[in-house]
Structure 1
Amino acid sequence: MALIPPVTRLTSSIIRILGCNPSPMTLQGTNTYLLGNGKKRILIDTGDENVPQYIEHLNGVLRQEQASIGTIILTHWHHDHVGGVKDIVGSKLVDKVLPLNPDCQVYKYKRTDDTNPCPEIPSHIKIHELADSQEFAVDGASVRVVHTPGHSTDHVVLTTNDGTLFSGDCILGEGTAVFEDLFHYMKSLHKILDLQPQRIYPGHGNVIDEPVGKIEYYIQHRNQREQQIFEFFTERPNERWQAMDVVRVVYKETPENLWPAAAYNVGHHLSKLQKEGKLVLLDQDEQYFAYQPGKTSSL
């Protein structure tokens, strides 16, 4: 795993600022991206809240560039992508106010699974609603919004005319992503594959220079996992199992600290297999599933 510096100039108009919030789920931290080469810039994602190091790095980049933030685009509502909004807009963590354009606007796609659109952002900060295919442009950069639900209902990626894709948490620089809805996540992966990106700047991890192969791997990996999960049940017919039982066998080579995340993904596979009539849900509350020959079908 190549070390990601706090600040990296990726191109003449793209600067990556690391969120300084490392964890097993965020890898080295959340990647945020400053776009453009003029006085007004676009910021993609904002990292976690209350991370002074991130605000200091962002502040330093803006002052060195003699630029301000005119637009903030959030790829989705998770705290490690939106938490820094209140610190950037309010500038409470730095001695001097961040260079923020007076008409700076914050954008995010609308969630369909919750009445609270983004609990991490204080209600006094206005969130403007993103639209699929919406375009944003500043001097030296332009991006188009592509709605890619699955990781979350509001997830978007951003694409450029030269084949660059900002993938948020849909595709990571290393490992695979978690998701809320496997059916929609798979559709989103195919949608991104159809875009044929030339490079991917992910929400976590290093730049992906061969993205088509990476996307195809993600699709194949999920299909392979589904086959392994289903085989776990067919080899143990009429027995009841939960997601973590499957993880202990199918994910035995995965570090145990990542098993809860794996169980989260397995749970969505189980729900999908149950909806397809391949497994039976025996206990709604405890989420026990079983393969019952005669009552369920095979892959």
Structure 2
Amino acid sequence: MTAVFICHPSQEEGKLGKRQNKKSNRKISGTNMSAVIPAVSKLSSRIIRILGCNPGPMTLQGTNTYLIGTGKKRILLDTGDKDVSEYQQTLAEVVNSEQVDIEHIVVTHWHHDHIGGVENIFGSIASQPKVWKHKRDIEDDVDEDLPKQIPISWLSDGQEIKVEGATVKVHHTPGHTTDHVVLSLLEENILFSGDCILGEGTAVFEDLYTYMLSLNRILELNPDVIYPGHGNVVEDPMKKIQYYIAHRNQREAQIFEALRNNADKQMNEMDLVKIIYTETPEHLWPAAANNVNHHLTKLTKEKKISCTSVEGENRWQYYPTPSL
């Protein structure tokens, strides 16, 4: 069921009707997106999805934020980017229409397109919500998009947050970031996957090893449906998760094979991207190079390839090992 709300324009973006038509049919160039996501969708009796109105190459149609619960007090999962007036106005309309209060804001991870809107929502759309987030592993890391004046409550693995009609359980799933969490909605066996699993394409990550562990953990949760941080609803979660795992294993095999086929060369990430990501638009190559780098780091640790610094740039080469 799709609600009637739309993402409003800022004043400089023209009249509402024109903006509405552009927004409803918007696709992001180069992402091969087929799904058009409404600004507001009632996904179940407990879940309303509000699109973050921040489309882009890395955010797809925009950040998915979710209002969860059936009673007066609700949970808001993720908050989109900072200072996106369209999103703030749409969220306010939904809150007012439903006649609810946001009691908890839960942030899946520290990236700006998930945490940035906290400052806009706290004290305005939501008067005094409790803001939840998992700690990052490195103490010196600072979540720059999280205002210091807003108190943060730290999430823990296995924790449950309850409002009327909804209980969400926290699962720490590092890999995309060290603080990343996914949440199970226990009443419906639904998983909110943040950026660990997307509705379209595959995710980027900071650490491949922990990311693979997190994918396997989600596989064990066996959700009926996945509501991702970007992209449309994943109706066949097990197939999607298994694809992600197989895809990463396939990518690693492709990288290793490319190095072995060019054993006389020292190659950087972009050299490998041009060989492997032949069907990926060039503007997405930097993200692909980041993923390749993580595979290379893993393969280097396993002593399957060698890494040499050439004029300050890492280069990798096939490292033949003796047969057993």
- For normalisation by structure 1, the TM-score amounts to 0.94
- Could you tell me which amino acid in structure 1 is paired with residue 96 of structure 2? R
Q: Which residue of 2 aligns with 1:180?
A: 206
Q: Which moved more, 1:246-255 or 1:281-290?
A: 281-290
CA distance in structure 1 between the aligned counterparts of 2:319 and 2:167, rounded to whole angstroms = 53
1:297 shift after superposition:
6.8
Q: Residue 73 and residue 263 in structure 1: after superposition, are their counterparts in 2 closer, same or farther (change >3 A)?
A: same
2:42 aligned with 1:5: no
Q: 2:114 aligns with which of 58, 68, 81?
A: 81
Map residues 67-216 of structure 1 onto 2, 5 A cutoff. 67-91=100-124, 98=125, 100-102=126-128, 104-161=129-186, 162-216=188-242
Q: Which residue of 2 aligns with 1:261?
A: 287
2:315 aligned with 1:288: yes
Identity of aligned residues (%): 57
1:90 shift after superposition:
4.3
- Could you tell me which amino acid in structure 1 is paired with residue 162 of structure 2? A
Q: Which residue of 2 aligns with 1:34?
A: 67
Q: Which residue of 1 aligns with 2:96?
A: 63
CA distance in structure 1 between the aligned counterparts of 2:218 and 2:240, rounded to whole angstroms = 11
CA distance in structure 2 between the aligned counterparts of 1:288 and 1:181, rounded to whole angstroms = 19
Q: Residue 39 and residue 26 in structure 1: after superposition, are their counterparts in 2 closer, same or farther (change >3 A)?
A: same
RMSD: 1.2
CA distance in structure 2 between the aligned counterparts of 1:146 and 1:110, rounded to whole angstroms = 13
- Could you tell me which amino acid in structure 2 is paired with residue 16 of structure 1? R
Tell me, yes or no, if the aligned pair for 1:238 and 1:292 is still in contact at 8 Å: no
Tell me, yes or no, if the aligned pair for 2:303 and 2:319 is still in contact at 8 Å: no
Q: Residue 89 and residue 184 in structure 1: after superposition, are their counterparts in 2 closer, same or farther (change >3 A)?
A: same
1:76 shift after superposition:
0.2
Map residues 262-277 of structure 1 onto 2, 5 A cutoff. 262-277=288-303
- For normalisation by structure 2, the TM-score amounts to 0.87
Tell me, yes or no, if the aligned pair for 1:278 and 1:297 is still in contact at 8 Å: no
1:238 shift after superposition:
3.3
Tell me, yes or no, if the aligned pair for 1:20 and 1:29 is still in contact at 8 Å: yes
CA distance in structure 2 between the aligned counterparts of 1:283 and 1:163, rounded to whole angstroms = 48
CA distance in structure 2 between the aligned counterparts of 1:113 and 1:231, rounded to whole angstroms = 34
Structure 1 residue runs of 5 or longer lacking an equivalent are 92-97
Structure 2 residue runs of 5 or longer lacking an equivalent are 1-33
Tell me, yes or no, if the aligned pair for 1:49 and 1:84 is still in contact at 8 Å: yes
2:270 aligned with 1:244: yes
Tell me, yes or no, if the aligned pair for 1:110 and 1:117 is still in contact at 8 Å: no
Q: 2:47 aligns with which of 14, 18, 28?
A: 14
2:52 aligned with 1:52: no
CA distance in structure 2 between the aligned counterparts of 1:69 and 1:228, rounded to whole angstroms = 47
Runs of 4+ more than 3 Å apart? none
CA distance in structure 1 between the aligned counterparts of 2:322 and 2:110, rounded to whole angstroms = 37
CA distance in structure 2 between the aligned counterparts of 1:267 and 1:106, rounded to whole angstroms = 34
1:116 shift after superposition:
3.6
Secondary structure of residue in 2 paired with 1:167: strand
1:113 shift after superposition:
2.8
CA distance in structure 2 between the aligned counterparts of 1:234 and 1:64, rounded to whole angstroms = 60
Q: Which moved more, 1:130-139 or 1:107-116?
A: 107-116
Tell me, yes or no, if the aligned pair for 1:41 and 1:69 is still in contact at 8 Å: yes
Count of residue correspondences: 288
Q: Which moved more, 1:151-160 or 1:112-121?
A: 112-121
- Could you tell me which amino acid in structure 1 is paired with residue 149 of structure 2? H
Tell me, yes or no, if the aligned pair for 1:172 and 1:202 is still in contact at 8 Å: yes
